[in-house]
């Protein structure tokens, strides 16, 4: 498997920290911070698809009443993942790969994924520094699958 550098993929990261707290009268009773890294990947060549993938929500189910969505034939994947695409045939063809569908489901746990032209954006858990990125095997595997 090629590294992102070998694939010619350049990466820009934005670190995001979201804090939430709960208060009861004047007392803070709990606080949490969620740290993520927004990755913007510049691909060495245009991706063969233009698509956005997100976890299917109730709103997506309602939208599907008026707008059809591409389906892969994998009922579990189709129920869990909402796909918006300008390249339906190429997207369905690419999603015939069971490995790619599994990767998307893992990565969608953190946030939506958009692939269009020479750009892909996705979110991964934690603040991932450049030296750590190659350790995130799922991002590297996703780019290898897309840029075959």
Cα–Cα distance list, 1 to 4, 44, 106, 109, 113 (Å):
10, 16, 19, 23, 21
- Greatest CA separation for the chain: 57
- The sign of the CA dihedral 51, 114, 145, 99 is negative
pLDDT digits over 1-15, tens only? 898 999 999 999 999
pLDDT at 110: 85
Q: Give the mean pLDDT of 91-102.
A: 93
What percent of the chain lies above the pLDDT cut of 70? 90
If pLDDT is split at 50, 70 and 90, which confidence band does 134 have? low
Domain borders along the chain are 4-146
Indicate the average pLDDT of the chain: 87
pLDDT at 57: 63
pLDDT at 83: 92
If pLDDT is split at 50, 70 and 90, which confidence band does 90 have? very high
Q: Bin 146: left if φ > 0, else alpha if -120 < ψ < 50, else beta.
A: alpha
Phi, psi angle pair for 26, to nearest 5°: -100, 10
Q: Spell out the alpha helix ranges (H) of the chain.
A: 4-7, 58-63, 75-80, 88-94, 98-108, 130-133, 137-146
Overall size of the chain counted in residues: 148
Q: Return the residue matching tokens 């997506």.
A: 60
pLDDT at 60: 56
Model's pTM, two decimal places?
Answer: 0.81
pLDDT at 67: 66
């Amino acid at each position: 498997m090629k590294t992102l550098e070998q694939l010619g993929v350049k990466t820009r990261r934005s670190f995001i920290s979201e804090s939430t707290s709960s208060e009861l009268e004047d007392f803070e009773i709990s606080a949490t911070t969620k740290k993520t890294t927004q990755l913007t990947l510049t691909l060495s060549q245009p991706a063969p698809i233009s698509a956005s993938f997100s976890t299917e929500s109730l709103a997506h189910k309602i939208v599907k009443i008026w707008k059809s969505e591409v389906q892969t034939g994998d009922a579990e994947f189709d129920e869990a993942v909402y796909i918006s695409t300008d390249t339906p045939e190429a997207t369905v063809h690419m999603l015939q790969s069971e490995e790619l569908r599994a990767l998307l489901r893992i990565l969608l746990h953190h946030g939506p994924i958009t692939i269009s032209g020479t750009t892909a954006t996705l979110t991964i858990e934690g603040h991932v520094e450049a030296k750590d990125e190659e350790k995130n095997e799922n991002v590297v595997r996703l780019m290898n699958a897309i840029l075959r």
